[in-house]
Amino acid sequence: MRALGLMSGTSMDGVDAAIVETDGVDIAGFGPSAFIPFTPEERGILRAGLGMWPGETDLGEAEQLVRARHAEAVAKFEDAEVVGFHGQTLAHDPAGQGTHQLGRGDLLARETGRRTVWDFRTADVASGGEGAPLVPFFHFACARRMGAARPLAFLNLGGVGNVTWVDPSAEAPEAPGGLLAFDTGPGNALIDDFVHERLGQGFDAGGLVAAKGRVDEAVLADLERHPYLQRPPPKSLDRQDFHDYLARVGHLSTEDGAATLTALTAACVALAARHFPIPAERWLVCGGGRHNRTLLGALGRMTNAPVEPCEVAGFDGDMLEAQAFGYLAVRVLRGLPTSSPATTGARLPVSGGRISDP
């Protein structure tokens, strides 16, 4: 099938849309992609809803915004047979209230005239899982497509960082030993929020601000003892979970603060690697963080392994997550698992997602 995946991540920069050709098991090919940016005003509307749960406040304007921008993306792809719609994550608390992705797929299906698979995470949480990350099953298919023979790691650096350790020799992604996946810690969120506050910029382009600063090791001295980093996987985070570190670097210069938060992100990834069954032979990085040369350099030093943008393996690092939700949509249509005990902590492999016809 030609599946269109849609993704609006925790960086809240806009909607990624990408075609993937798949039977839900193997990747036959990739198609065109598009990006629909949010305006600064729209980002403000979405940021105001962070941490909100259904019924807590009126999120009608934000919901309409999310649906309108996604509908705009769908309109660019006339030949998509199914749409995988993730929605905009506003809150994530799997041990408590669950997970909240804003955006009604039934209304999107009606507006666009396309069969839509959505609400991917709720079934996993109901089965005892974290509801995240969900991209690992797609990473397994990517490893197979590139002909990998040895275990490797896919690192996604969006607002939150998440990693998938893949053994491509496993029979299937849900097979024991095939995957291990979890959120590593902050991705770009802390760096983005810090430079936005100090410089009014959306992000540290290329890591140039951090490259001019010095890391304050005192701020990171107790990082290893952080409760989240001590927990074994599977585990997942909310975008705001490490937000207290912004106050901890408040006394530093802009350059030193950016350098320290960049080092924090890399250190969280390096600590995450302790959980791998065997070391990853290489790391492929996707998401906006792969453009941050200062961050990639720190990752290479701390993991002691090759750390490269996923483009070196033939993938589009900007669209990999969007492609993943197109791939997962086809798996949902076929009743195949989209998560497993090793990726989210669910009791059994789960096929999540709701199917809405126009």
Per-residue pLDDT at 184: 95
Taking residues 261-278, report their average pLDDT. Answer: 96
Q: Quick one: what percent of the chain has pLDDT higher than 90?
A: 80
Per-residue pLDDT at 53: 83
Average pLDDT score over the chain: 93
The CATH fold of domain 2-133+318-356: Nucleotidyltransferase; domain 5 (3.30.420)
Measured CA to CA in angstroms, residue 178 lies from 136, 203, 236, 289 at distances of 10, 35, 19, 26
Task: Please determine, for residue 239, whether its predicted confidence score (pLDDT) is greater than 90.
Answer: no
Pick the range with the lowest mean pLDDT from 39-48, 87-96, 331-340: 87-96
18 or 97, which is more confident?
18
The CATH fold of domain 148-313: Nucleotidyltransferase; domain 5 (3.30.420)
Q: What is the pLDDT of residues 184-233, one digit of tens each?
A: 999 999 999 999 999 999 899 999 999 999 999 999 999 999 999 999 99
202 or 262, which is more confident?
262
| pTM (2 d.p.) | 0.89
Whole-number Å distance between alpha carbons of 69 and 76: 11
Domain layout of the chain by residue ranges: 2-133+318-356, 148-313
Contact call for residues 293 and 250 (beta carbons, < 8 A): no
252-262: b (≥16 Cβ within 10 Å) or e: bebbbbbbbbb
Task: Please determine, for residue 132, whether its predicted confidence score (pLDDT) is greater than 90.
Answer: no
Residue 271: pLDDT band (50, 70, 90) is: very high
Task: Please determine, for residue 100, whether its predicted confidence score (pLDDT) is greater than 90.
Answer: no
Q: What is the pLDDT of residues 38-79, one digit of tens each?
A: 999 998 999 888 888 887 778 889 999 999 999 999 999 999
- Give yes or no on whether 2-133+318-356 and 148-313 have one common fold: yes
